[in-house]
């Protein structure tokens, strides 16, 4: 029982703090297709704070997380925050329809390359988030509930 409680405490700690193996490293570059069929590369967003959100419409926790992402976008977009949902489902049309039908309009939503990109961000399950600062450095990774102080720190101006 003690081992179980210790394991549960560690999981809870990692859930709150994020998964540190990527923190402090350069975010891996990727290029993928947006909903509109355009190509988007992570490097094209340099200078902005980016939250990459790996998700799928069939994933109930992912759907529950979308209102939080929308709130972050509405609150911090004027300061340079960009939310990039990355679809992990082969059901591209269903994911796009779910976003549209539920009133989500992220500037960029990617639907190809999700499973190819996921290992670069140590994705273990979805929803999975990565907060990348203006300099392209990963500041936090984890399942959801991104701590507000992490977002505030990532929004600070980049230093040359």
Structural domain boundaries enclosing 39: 2-154
pLDDT at 159 exceeding the cut of 80: no
- Is the confidence at residue 102, as pLDDT, over 80? yes
35 inside domain: yes
Classify residue 61: in a domain, yes or no: yes
Q: In this structure, is residue 159 part of a structural domain?
A: no
Q: Mean pLDDT of all residues in the chain?
A: 79
Q: Examine residue 31 and state whether it is found in any structural domain, yes or no.
A: yes
- How many structural domains are present in the chain? 1
Residue 160 lies in a domain: no
pLDDT digits (tens, 9 = 90+) for 22-81: 788 899 888 877 777 788 888 999 999 999 998 888 899 999 999 999 999 999 999 999
What SS3 string covers the chain?
A: CHHHHHHHHHHHHHHHHCCCCCCCCECCCCEEEECCCCEEEHHHHCCCEEEEEEECCCCHHHHHHHHHHHHHHHHHHHHCEEEEEEECCCCHHHHHHHHHHCCCCCCCCECCCHHHHHHHHCCCCCCEEEEECCCCEEEEEECCCCCHHHHHHHCCCCCC
Residue 115: inside a domain: yes
pTM: 0.80
């Amino acid at each position: 029982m003690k081992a179980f409680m210790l394991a549960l405490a560690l999981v809870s700690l990692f859930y709150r703090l994020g998964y540190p193996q990527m923190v402090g490293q350069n975010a891996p570059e990727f290029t993928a297709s947006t909903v509109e069929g355009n190509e988007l590369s992570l490097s094209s967003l340099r200078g902005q704070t980016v939250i990459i959100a790996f998700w799928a419409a069939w994933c109930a926790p992912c759907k529950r997380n979308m209102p939080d992402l929308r709130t972050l976008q509405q609150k911090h977009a004027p300061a340079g925050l960009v939310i990039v949902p990355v679809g992990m489902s082969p059901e591209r049309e269903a994911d796009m329809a779910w976003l549209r039908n539920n009133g989500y309009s992220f500037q960029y939503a990617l639907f190809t390359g999700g499973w190819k990109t996921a290992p670069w961000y140590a994705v273990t399950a979805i929803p999975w988030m990565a907060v990348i600062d203006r300099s392209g450095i990963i500041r936090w990774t984890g399942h959801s509930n991104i701590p507000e102080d992490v977002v505030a720190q990532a929004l600070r101006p980049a230093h040359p």
